[in-house]
Chain A
Amino acid sequence: MKEFLDMGGYAAFVWPSYAITLAVIALNVYWARRRLTQARAAARRRIAMHEEGA
């Protein structure tokens, strides 16, 4: 296990690379879903306002 974590001496470069890439993936999933949730909420508000106005 220690050998695996050490990455043959390249731990300081390998692990941050993986961490950054996986963070970018996770953030992309989070951002995309959040945008959709916000767009849905905004559309609901618009429809409600539209109906009140009608």
Chain B
Amino acid sequence: MTWTWFHRLGSPPHVFALARRLTPWLGWPAALLILGGLWGGLVLAPPDYQQGDGFRIIYVHAPSAWLSLMVYTSMAIAAAVGLIWRIKVAHAVAASCAPIGASFTLAALVTGALWGQPMWGTFWQWDPRLTSELILFFLYLGYMGLRAGIEDTQRADRASGVLAVVGVVNVPIIHYSVTWWNSLHQAPSVMRLARPTLPGSMLAPLLMMLLGFTLLFGALVLVRLRAEILARERTSGWIREAVGA
């Protein structure tokens, strides 16, 4: 087992080229899965026996909520790798994750409110799940604000990296909030150890959306990563070729 592949992942020109090559392989399947999931979720899946057609919000709410947690976890891992091994590309990955995660956290909160109103009779409740998800949104904003406030990139990487790593304790709190505390929010129906509780015709579009959103995140983060690497590398020789100057 050689570690060359790992070292190459720390090399900006290598990562830049790899990101460019990989993006369409993530982006196009993501687009197809999301379109298929929309069709399945809005048209093919039968109405829920309790929530009627209102339950269809799950097909946009659950994947957004999944991304909000998955992107934060990725960001924290990238930041930790950057802090521990002092790998600049890892910090660039973390910085690329934040705006994507923040926007999907907002989507999860808003679609959750739109689902809560008809089902629970309220848009918002200071409930453990909802509150911890809102804290996640503020963690993302704090991370981005901290980076924006520090001129020197290396100092920004370190300070925001520590925040990202510390904030990751919120992720299991959000996930288990519905089990630990008495919450308005329903328990997980897919992300659980036992078999999912949804029937196949309802589950398939949801799985397509979950996978589609995940691949979409991959494509988005790779595009942002290339921008981030270009901004950090200043005038290195390989940049000339990469931007065709």
Cβ–Cβ contact A14 & B54, under 8 A: yes
Cβ–Cβ contact A17 & B111, under 8 A: yes
Interface centre among A8, A20, A29, A43, by most B CB within 10 Å?
A43
Interface status of B239 (Cβ within 8 A of chain A)? yes
Smallest CB-CB separation from B61: which chain A residue?
A: A17
Cβ–Cβ contact A20 & B110, under 8 A: yes
* B56 proximity list for chain A (CB < 8 A): 7, 10, 14
Interface residues of A in 1-54 (CB under 8 A from B): 4, 7-10, 13-14, 16-18, 20-22, 24-25, 27-29, 31-33, 35-36, 38-40, 42-44, 46-48, 50
* B235 proximity list for chain A (CB < 8 A): 46-47, 50
Q: Decide if the interface of chain B is mainly helix, strand, loop or mixed.
A: helix
Chain B contact-residue range equals 35 or more
Cβ–Cβ contact A29 & B220, under 8 A: yes
Q: Decide if the interface of chain A is mainly helix, strand, loop or mixed.
A: helix
Complex-state Cα separation, A28 to B231, whole angstroms: 19
Complex-state Cα separation, A24 to B65, whole angstroms: 13
Cβ–Cβ contact B60 & A10, under 8 A: no
Interface residues of B in 41-61 (CB under 8 A from A): 42-43, 47, 52-54, 56-57, 60-61
Report B's interface with A, CB cutoff 8 A: 34, 38, 42-43, 47, 52-54, 56-57, 60-61, 64, 99-100, 103-104, 106-107, 110-111, 114-115, 117-118, 216, 220, 223-224, 226-228, 230-231, 233-235, 239-240, 242-245
Can you report 16 residue pairs joining A to B where beta carbons are below 8 Å apart? A7-B53, A8-B54, A10-B53, A10-B56, A10-B118, A14-B56, A17-B61, A20-B110, A27-B103, A28-B99, A32-B227, A40-B227, A43-B231, A43-B242, A43-B243, A47-B240
